[in-house]
Amino acid sequence: MIGRLKGILAAKQPPWLVVDVNGVGYELEAPMSTFFDLPPVGKEVSLFTHYAVKEDTVALYGFLRDAERQLFRTVQKVTGIGAKIALAILSGSSVEEFARLVQTGDLAALTRIPGIGKKTAERIVVELRDRVDGMAVAGLPRSGGPVPADPQTEAAVALQQLGYKPAEVSRLIKDAVAEGDTAEAIIRKALRAALK
């Protein structure tokens, strides 16, 4: 099992990143909460990881904070929630914010996360209410095409991979974009707007 990686950030394009550890490039999928705080490409990075093996796939997920990895693992214990929805949860809210939503039973806010309907939100509240107490105090396949050339396109691709529908992505980006914004800044503003 791979629990942590420390190396040079070789590439990043949400939701994927590559960490070069002594000449071996590890490809990881990460939530936007991690992307927002990553150093520039070429700098050293240390990530907590979750190694997942299923019948036909092997995946590696990366997180800057252990609390994010713990939440990623915890939410997947709820029936109907897999890695994609767990990443969407972490991309749309902080660990502390998600814990607050669960503790207060805020179903409306939970259903605004892509992939979570009313029944899933209810299951999350029932099954996780006791598990998130400590967290409140604690701190998709790629297309194979070329890397998007501009920040708006890159942000749109990332939001679609998080589960947002194309029409919703267009609206979120139109409302979030400002001149000179990086893809990460556009995504951050769009995710904040989506949860309001």
What are the chain's domains?
4-63 (2.40.50.140), 67-81+89-137 (1.10.150.20), 151-194 (1.10.8)
Confidence of residue 158 (pLDDT cuts 50, 70, 90): confident
DSSP 3-state assignment of 162?
coil
The Cα 40–Cα 131 span in angstroms is: 35
What average pLDDT does range 23-51 have in this prediction?
92
Is residue 131 pLDDT above 80, yes or no?
no
Residue 15: cis peptide before it, omega within 30 degrees of 0: yes
Q: What is the pLDDT of residue 134?
A: 57
pLDDT, residue 136, reads 47
Rounded distance between C-alpha atoms, residue 97 and residue 110, angstroms:
11
Cβ contact 30:90 at 8 Å: no
- Tell me how far CA of residue 38 lies from CA of 19, 135, 146, in angstroms: 11, 22, 22
Which pTM was predicted?
Answer: 0.67
Query: What mean pLDDT value characterizes the chain?
Result: 83
Distances (CA, A) of 8 to 24, 43, 74: 10, 5, 29
Place of tokens 């914010």: 97
Contact 123, 79 (CB under 8 A): yes
- pLDDT bin (cut points 50, 70, 90) of residue 44 is very high
pLDDT of residue 135: 59
